[in-house]
Amino acid sequence: MTHVLVPVAILEGGTVSPGLMNLLGTVDVTVLGYHVLPEQTPPDQARLQYEDHATDALEDLTDEFRTAGGAADSRLVFTHDREQTVERVADEIGANALAISGPTGDVERVLVSLSGDVAVERILSFVAELVGDRDIGVTLFLVTEEEATTQRLESAAERLRRDGISVQTTVVASDSPFEALIDEVPGHDAVIMGEKAPSFRSLVFGEESDRVASASVGPVLVVRSAETLDT
């Protein structure tokens, strides 16, 4: 079964939009409630004070995921380092993808970026699993300057169409893959990309100002690459 990790800053009002919950209704979800502490504060000390409150909030959120359809469980972590925690838990549960929440309504069309050195087959099977037999359209998106790679895009589209998914493709020539992706977002309700995609890190793990970008694109699903799953 496809497994998605959803990190949420549980004590800072972090929530998951109903649109994303519905989108993830076809897969197993682990909600990772985390709280990042300044280094002066031992995680254990913060836990004594915050644990009850955090557990309540996390249980409510996990229940909402169950109501939306999929199997859901939760983990609560107090940490000094968000990135390390997200990667550790993703490894432990063998997550196929991470979901970074962002505002969205009902998801009708998702934007799937195949730019960069990403594991196309993993992304496609994840998309097929996620969409299932629902009426969600897919736009396959590729930033390239070579003619040959557009061939890759067409065979990818064929692969998804065989699963009965409505697919369209967009190829853009640009030397800034990240901006090209952001420009393409209007008309889509969520973005799916590979872990090795350009700018993935700044969207998911970046500084606050970079993550503002993710707020403007709505939810982002990051399909993890095989190498990170193995190590």
Which residues of the chain form contacts with another protein (CB under 8 A)? 37-51, 54-55, 75-81, 84-85, 88
Nearest distance, CB of residue 85 and another protein, angstroms = 5
Do residues 31 and 59 lie in contact, with contact meaning Cβ atoms separated by under 8 Å? no
**Nearest to residue 58, comparing CAs of 78, 81, 88?**
78
**Helical (H) or strand (E) element with 164:** none
Nearer to another protein, 79 or 174 (CB): 79
Judged by beta carbon, residue 10 or residue 124, the one nearer another protein is: 10
Distances from the Cα of 45 to the Cα of 37, 56, 107, 218, angstroms: 10, 18, 40, 34
**What is the smallest separation between the CB atom of 221 and another protein, expressed in angstroms?**
24
Q: Whole-number minimum distance, CB 87 to another protein, in Å?
A: 10
**Is 85 or 199 the residue whose CB approaches another protein more closely?**
85
For residue 140, the SS3 value is strand
Closest CA to 170 of 158, 154, 190, 193: 154
Tell how many helices (H) and how many strands (E) occur in the chain: 9, 9
CB of 79 to another protein, least distance (A): 3
Give 94 or 187: the residue with its C-beta nearer to another protein. Answer: 94
Which helix (DSSP H) or strand (DSSP E) does residue 125 occupy? helix 120-131
The nearer residue to another protein, 37 or 172, going by C-beta atoms, is 37
* Least gap, CB of 211 to another protein (angstroms): 17
Q: Of the two residues 48 and 134, which places its CB atom closer to another protein in the complex?
A: 48
Give dist(CA 159, CA 29) in Å, integer.
Answer: 25
Q: How far is the CB of 67 from another protein (least distance, A)?
A: 22
How many Å separate Cα 170 from the centre of its chain? 21
